[in-house]
Structures are given as structure tokens and as C-alpha cells.
């Protein structure tokens, strides 16, 4: 049970471990797509990582706000509704 509880300090540290959301807004389209690929690879390796989930949340927010393409907008919407497992069609772990 205690594995699900984290301190606010750890949450804040994990939130900015990969890249702050403000920096994601400054990336070019190519760099955002590279970040998306990195995120996909990270999720495949560890779908339950808090830092990866927080990074993905910010990344998908930026992709959604910038509306790069219809496909990416749909991906961001699916991610918001069902998380990385739904967005990337990964097998769910029960």
C-alpha cells in the first residue's frame, strides 16, 4: 500500500525529471516528434513509472495545444482518456 504514496517533493522532482512543460512548448515540430518517440519507447519499457507518466502528460498537453496534425490530436485525446496503454495500443497488464 505504501508504494502508491509519494511526497510532494518527490512528485515535483519527478514532474520535471525529463523536461519542463515550458521547454516542450519551445521545441520544433521535429523535436516534439522525437520526444513522442522517446516517450513511446519509455512507456513500452516501464508503463507504470510515475516520472514517465508525468512527462507523457505534459508532452501530450503540448501536442494537443499545438495541434500539429489530426492524428497527433487524436493520439493526445486518446492518451487523455485512457493513458499510454490506450494511446499506444499496448497490452494491458492486469
List, in order, residues 6 or more apart from 87 with CB less than 8 Å away: 60, 75, 76, 78, 79
Average pLDDT over residues 52-75: 84
pTM: 0.65
Instruction: Report whether 52 contacts 46 (CB < 8 A).
Output: yes
Q: Tell me: pLDDT of 92 over 70.
A: no
Domain ranges of the chain: 29-88
Amino acid at each position: 500500500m505504501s508504494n502508491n504514496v509519494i511526497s510532494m517533493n518527490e512528485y515535483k522532482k519527478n514532474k520535471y525529471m525529463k523536461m519542463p512543460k515550458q521547454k516542450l512548448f519551445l521545441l520544433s515540430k521535429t523535436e516534439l516528434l522525437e520526444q513522442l518517440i522517446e516517450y513511446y519507447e519509455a512507456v513500452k519499457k516501464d508503463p507504470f513509472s510515475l516520472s514517465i507518466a508525468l512527462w507523457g502528460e505534459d508532452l501530450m498537453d503540448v501536442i494537443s495545444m499545438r495541434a500539429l496534425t489530426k492524428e497527433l490530436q487524436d493520439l493526445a485525446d486518446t492518451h487523455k482518456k485512457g493513458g499510454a496503454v490506450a494511446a499506444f495500443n499496448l497490452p494491458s497488464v492486469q
